[in-house]
Amino acid sequence: MNFKSFFLRFFTVLTAIIVVSCDKDFNEIGTDIVGGDNDHYLFDKYADASIKAYNQKLGPVAMHNLPINPLGIYKNPVFGTTTSGFVSQLEMASGSINRVFNNTDPDLYQELPVIDSVILNVPYYSKLLSTDSDGLKTYRLDSIYGGNETKMKLSVYESNYFLRDLDPSSQFTEQQVFYNDNQEVENQKNPFVLNNSTNTKENTQFFFDKSEHKTTVLNSSNVEVPTRTAPSMRLHLDKTFFYNKILNAPSGQLVNNAVFKNYFRGLYFKVEDLGTSNNMAMINFSNAKATIYYREDKKVTNSTTNVVTFEKTSKTFEMNFAGNRVSLQSNSNEDLDYLAAANSTSEASKLYLKGGQGSMAIIDLFGPDTDNNGVADELEQIKNNGWLINEANLTFYIDKTAMSNTQAIEPNRIMLYDLNNSTVLVDYLIDQSQSGRYPKQNKFIHGGILLDDDGVFVKQIKDENTGIISNKGTKYKIRLTSHIKNLIKNDSTNVRLGLVVTESINTIGYTKLKTPIGDIKKVPQMSVLSPVGTILYGTNIPVGDINYGNRLKLEIYYTKPD
CB 56 within 8 A of CB 513: no
Residue 15 lies in a domain: no
Ramachandran category for residue 447: left, alpha or beta (phi over 0 → left; psi -120 to 50 → alpha):
left
Evaluate if residue 11 carries a pLDDT over 50. no
CB-count burial class (<10 Å; 0-12, 13-18, 19+) for 354: buried
**Which pLDDT value is given to residue 16?**
39
CB 555 within 8 A of CB 45: yes
Evaluate if residue 466 carries a pLDDT over 90. no
- Claim to verify: residue 292 and residue 175 sit in the same structural domain: yes
| Nearest CA among 285, 232, 350, 271 for reference residue 82 | 271
Does the pTM of the predicted model rise above 0.85? yes
pLDDT band for position 467 (cuts 50, 70, 90): confident
Residue 74 lies in a domain: no
The full DSSP string for 338-387 is: HHHHHT--SBPSEEEEETTTTEEEEEEES---TT-SSS-HHHHHHHHHT-
- Claim to verify: residue 45 and residue 84 sit in the same structural domain: no
- Claim to verify: residue 339 and residue 320 sit in the same structural domain: no
| Nearest CA among 135, 99, 110 for reference residue 249 | 99
Cα 334 → chain centroid: 21
| Nearest CA among 512, 552, 515 for reference residue 536 | 552
CA–CA–CA angle 307, 313, 317 (5° rounding): 140
The mean per-residue pLDDT over the stretch 155-165 comes to 96
3-state secondary structure labels for all residues of 22-49: HHHHHHHHCCECCCCCCCCCCCEEECCC
410-433 tens-digit pLDDT:
999 999 999 999 999 999 999 999
Residue 446 lies in a domain: yes
**Which pLDDT value is given to residue 4?**
42
- Claim to verify: residue 214 and residue 264 sit in the same structural domain: yes
**Which pLDDT value is given to residue 294?**
94
Residues in contact with 267: Cβ distance below 8 Å, sequence separation at least 6, in sequence order? 87, 88, 90, 120, 156, 157, 158, 159, 194, 290
What three-state secondary structure class fits 246? helix
What three-state secondary structure class fits 218? strand
* β-strand partners of 293: 117, 316
Element (H, E) at 553: strand 553-559
- Claim to verify: residue 490 and residue 448 sit in the same structural domain: yes
- Claim to verify: residue 425 and residue 339 sit in the same structural domain: yes
Residue 5 lies in a domain: no
Q: What is the DSSP letter of 50?
A: -
Residue 500 lies in a domain: yes
Residue 137 lies in a domain: yes
- Claim to verify: residue 117 and residue 185 sit in the same structural domain: yes
- Claim to verify: residue 419 and residue 477 sit in the same structural domain: yes
- Claim to verify: residue 351 and residue 421 sit in the same structural domain: yes
Of 300, 328, 356, the residue at which a domain comes to its end is: 328
Residue 8 lies in a domain: no
| Nearest CA among 454, 342, 462 for reference residue 409 | 462
Residues in contact with 529: Cβ distance below 8 Å, sequence separation at least 6, in sequence order? 66, 68, 69, 70, 282, 327, 355, 356, 503
Rg of the chain over Cα atoms, rounded to whole angstroms, equals 29
Evaluate if residue 224 carries a pLDDT over 80. no
pLDDT band for position 266 (cuts 50, 70, 90): very high
- Claim to verify: residue 255 and residue 338 sit in the same structural domain: no
Number of domains into which the chain is organized: 2
Between 406 and 492, the higher pLDDT residue:
492
Residue 380 lies in a domain: yes
| Residue 273 CA neighbour count, 13 Å, CB half | 14
CA–CA–CA angle 132, 142, 66 (5° rounding): 140
CB 141 within 8 A of CB 208: yes
**Which pLDDT value is given to residue 28?**
24
- Claim to verify: residue 305 and residue 434 sit in the same structural domain: no
**Which pLDDT value is given to residue 148?**
67
Of 282, 310, 328, the residue at which a domain comes to its end is: 328
344-388 tens-digit pLDDT:
999 999 999 999 889 999 999 999 989 888 889 999 999 999 999
Mean pLDDT is highest, among 9-13, 405-409, 490-494, for 490-494
Its domain, for residue 410, covers 36-62+334-559
d(CA 358, CA 331) in angstroms, rounded, equals 9
Average model confidence (pLDDT) across the chain? 88
Of 328, 360, 385, the residue at which a domain comes to its end is: 328
| Nearest CA among 413, 419, 367, 407 for reference residue 526 | 413
| Nearest CA among 532, 526, 496, 495 for reference residue 509 | 526
d(CA 327, CA 347) in angstroms, rounded, equals 33
Cα 436 → chain centroid: 20
pLDDT band for position 547 (cuts 50, 70, 90): very high
CA–CA–CA angle 70, 74, 75 (5° rounding): 160
- Claim to verify: residue 342 and residue 324 sit in the same structural domain: no
Cα-Cα end-to-end distance for the chain: 20
